[in-house]
């Protein structure tokens, strides 16, 4: 057991980058690797598995590809134990199975003095598994709420599990107040949930010369360019933007839409490409695939506007990345989006599912002369350096309470 102010942390999340999916959950990595500059951190990132999934992979290439058991990322040990996860009908058991299958590794880490606090990200299944593991191993757990709690709150079995995991946590963190309010509505005490928003790496994201960036991407120098960055899945809403392209092109015939993101693990680029072809806008939609973080600022900088027609978010880091690169934002009024796009100097919010409102907001934003310096000033206070101290202080406080028991 740790007896000083530097408790050993195990970050526990099934959403974390790995060598197969290098951008999967990079927002968790960004956050917690900065905590690791002050506190000792080990990462346990379980991966779903079920017998025979290798056979299924023959018919669905890329489905749950094998992930190495152990990696070292930026000097930090990252473990990927497998846990039984049966698709569709038995997802309500993921929390239990995650805990059972990860128990031997967590027990070993505790014996080695590397586990004083179990820090889970996403309330389900990771938060539920952390609650069970914490009881079995006699260590406190914390949970960071992200966008998935909005879905969990509507499901009976997982809601029951999540509520108990949150109420028995040493602390619940939330990346947005909207998610905190959801947890309170489920029955978690207001004082038990602390909002610590995500941040942005201003050394990595900044405005670059637009003309040079467009030349590198072979984009027309005078075209209007909009961009979305995220996993190519239904929730992120790439298809909702593509659906508006025919009308948008009537105002801006040279408009280009940059769709940036990989298919890990649940994307569907083929469906989006077919939609663009069906609507006759395939020549105006450019799929750039997965891009490394150090490349993204040049792609952001090639654009005029960031658009995210998302179904739900906690605190989307892509908003801060885009704004740091000088892009105003059009997005949906869901989750914590209004907390990031907090004024009309940053962008515009539209109702989810309202295609007309989305189209009008995009056209209005493209017509407007934005104050780029104002965007930069807004983003400056969102730097990670201003977020992490609150997290470190909370973990140290939990460690102190534990050492006194």
pLDDT digit string, tens, across residues 163-196: 999 999 999 999 999 999 999 999 999 999 999 9
The residue among 235 and 348 whose pLDDT is bigger is 348
What is residue 37's predicted lDDT score, i.e. its pLDDT?
96
Residue 24 lies in a domain: yes
Q: Kindly state whether residues 120 and 225 are assigned to the same domain.
A: no
Using the predicted structure, report yes or no on whether residue 1 has a pLDDT greater than 50: no
- Mean per-residue pLDDT for 209-217? 97
Q: Kindly state whether residues 96 and 183 are assigned to the same domain.
A: yes
φ and ψ at 69, to 5 degrees?
A: -65, -35
Q: Kindly state whether residues 175 and 233 are assigned to the same domain.
A: no
Q: Kindly state whether residues 265 and 145 are assigned to the same domain.
A: no
Using the predicted structure, report yes or no on whether residue 150 has a pLDDT greater than 90: no
> How is residue 342 written in tokens?
């907090």
Split into its structural domains, the chain has a count of 2
Residue 141 lies in a domain: yes
Residue 204 lies in a domain: no
Number of Cβ within 10 Å of residue 400's Cβ equals 14
What is residue 63's predicted lDDT score, i.e. its pLDDT?
61
Average pLDDT of the chain? 91
What is residue 64's predicted lDDT score, i.e. its pLDDT?
66
Using the predicted structure, report yes or no on whether residue 360 has a pLDDT greater than 60: yes
Pairwise CA distance, residues 77 & 73, whole Å? 7
- Mean per-residue pLDDT for 205-228? 96
Banded pLDDT at 11 (limits 50, 70, 90): very high
Q: Give pTM, 2 decimals.
A: 0.86
Q: Kindly state whether residues 347 and 282 are assigned to the same domain.
A: yes
- 3-state class (DSSP) for residue 107: helix
Strongest mean pLDDT among 144-158, 349-363, 369-383? 349-363
What is residue 2's predicted lDDT score, i.e. its pLDDT?
42
What is residue 314's predicted lDDT score, i.e. its pLDDT?
83
Using the predicted structure, report yes or no on whether residue 266 has a pLDDT greater than 80: no
CATH code for the domain of 317? 3.40.50.2000
Residue 140 lies in a domain: yes
What is residue 86's predicted lDDT score, i.e. its pLDDT?
83
pLDDT above 90 covers a percentage of the chain that reads: 72
What is residue 3's predicted lDDT score, i.e. its pLDDT?
46
Strands 329-332 and 305-308 come out as: parallel
The residue among 364 and 377 whose pLDDT is bigger is 364
Banded pLDDT at 5 (limits 50, 70, 90): low
Q: Kindly state whether residues 221 and 180 are assigned to the same domain.
A: no
Q: Kindly state whether residues 187 and 86 are assigned to the same domain.
A: yes
Lowest-confidence range among 38-42, 109-113, 131-135, 181-185? 181-185
The residue among 309 and 294 whose pLDDT is bigger is 309
Banded pLDDT at 121 (limits 50, 70, 90): very high
Judge contact between 272 and 259, C-beta under 8 A.
yes
- 3-state class (DSSP) for residue 197: coil
Q: Kindly state whether residues 114 and 253 are assigned to the same domain.
A: no
Which residue segment(s) compose the domain that 248 sits in? 210-380
Residue 119 lies in a domain: yes
Question: What is the layout of strands, in order, in the sheet containing 329-332?
Answer: 285-289, 256-260, 225-229, 305-308, 329-332, 347-350
Residue 85 lies in a domain: yes
φ and ψ at 97, to 5 degrees?
A: -65, -40
Banded pLDDT at 269 (limits 50, 70, 90): confident
What is residue 267's predicted lDDT score, i.e. its pLDDT?
59
What is residue 401's predicted lDDT score, i.e. its pLDDT?
84
Residue 1 lies in a domain: no
What is residue 229's predicted lDDT score, i.e. its pLDDT?
95
Could you report the per-residue pLDDT of 43-81, keeping only the tens digit for each? 999 999 888 666 665 656 566 678 999 999 999 999 999
Q: Kindly state whether residues 394 and 262 are assigned to the same domain.
A: no
- Mean per-residue pLDDT for 303-328? 93
Q: Kindly state whether residues 101 and 246 are assigned to the same domain.
A: no
Residue 203 lies in a domain: no
Lowest-confidence range among 54-68, 252-266, 311-325, 356-370? 54-68
Label residues 148-183 b or e (16+ Cβ within 10 Å = b).
bbbebbeeeebbebbbebbeebbbbbbbbbbbbebb
Q: Kindly state whether residues 71 and 101 are assigned to the same domain.
A: yes
Q: DSSP readout, 327-372?
A: --EEEES-TTHHHHS-STTTEEEE-TT-HHHHHHHHHHHHHS---H
Q: Kindly state whether residues 294 and 395 are assigned to the same domain.
A: no
Could you report the per-residue pLDDT of 222-231, keeping only the tens digit for each? 999 999 999 8
Pairwise CA distance, residues 238 & 134, whole Å? 39
Judge contact between 118 and 133, C-beta under 8 A.
yes
Pairwise CA distance, residues 238 & 144, whole Å? 27
């Amino acid at each position: 057991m740790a007896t000083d102010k530097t408790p050993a942390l195990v970050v526990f999340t099934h959403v974390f980058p790995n060598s197969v999916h290098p951008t999967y959950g990079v927002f968790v990595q960004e956050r917690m690797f900065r905590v690791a500059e002050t506190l000792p951190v080990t990462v346990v990132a379980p991966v779903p598995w079920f017998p025979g999934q290798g056979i299924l992979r023959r018919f669905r290439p890329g489905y749950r590809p094998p992930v190495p058991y152990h990696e070292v990322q930026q000097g930090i040990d990252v473990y990927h134990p497998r846990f039984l996860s049966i698709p569709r009908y038995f997802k309500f058991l993921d929390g239990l199975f995650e805990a059972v299958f990860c128990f031997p590794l967590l027990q070993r880490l505790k014996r080695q003095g590397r586990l004083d606090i179990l820090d889970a990200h996403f309330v389900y299944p990771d938060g539920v598994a952390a609650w069970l593991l914490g009881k079995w191993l006699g260590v406190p757990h914390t949970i960071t709420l992200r966008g998935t709690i909005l879905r969990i709150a509507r499901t009976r079995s997982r809601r029951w599990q999540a509520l108990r995991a949150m109420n028995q946590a040493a602390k619940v963190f939330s990346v947005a107040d909207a998610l905190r309010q959801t947890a309170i509505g489920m029955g978690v005490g207001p004082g038990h949930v602390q909002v610590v928003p995500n941040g942005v790496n201003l050394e990595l994201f900044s405005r670059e010369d637009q003309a040079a960036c467009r030349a590198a991407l072979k984009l027309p120098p005078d075209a209007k360019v909009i961009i979305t960055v995220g996993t190519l899945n239904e929730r992120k809403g790439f298809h909702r933007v593509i659906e508006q392209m025919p009308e948008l092109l009537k105002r801006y015939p040279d408009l280009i839409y940059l769709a940036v993101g990989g298919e890990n693990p649940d994307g569907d680029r083929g469906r989006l490409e077919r939609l663009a072809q069906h609507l006759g806008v395939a020549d105006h939609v450019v799929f750039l695939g997965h891009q490394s973080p150090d490349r993204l600022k040049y792609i952001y900088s090639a654009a005029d506007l960031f658009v995210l027609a998302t179904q739900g978010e906690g605190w989307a880091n892509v908003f801060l990345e885009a704004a740091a690169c000088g892009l105003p934002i059009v997005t949906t009024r869901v989750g914590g989006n209004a907390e990031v796009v907090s004024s009309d100097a940053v962008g515009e919010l539209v109702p989810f599912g309202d295609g007309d409102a989305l189209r009008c907001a995009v056209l209005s934003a493209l017509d407007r002369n934005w104050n780029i310096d104002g965007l930069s000033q807004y983003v400056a206070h969102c730097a990670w350096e201003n977020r992490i101290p609150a997290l470190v202080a909370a973990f140290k406080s939990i460690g102190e309470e534990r050492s006194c028991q």
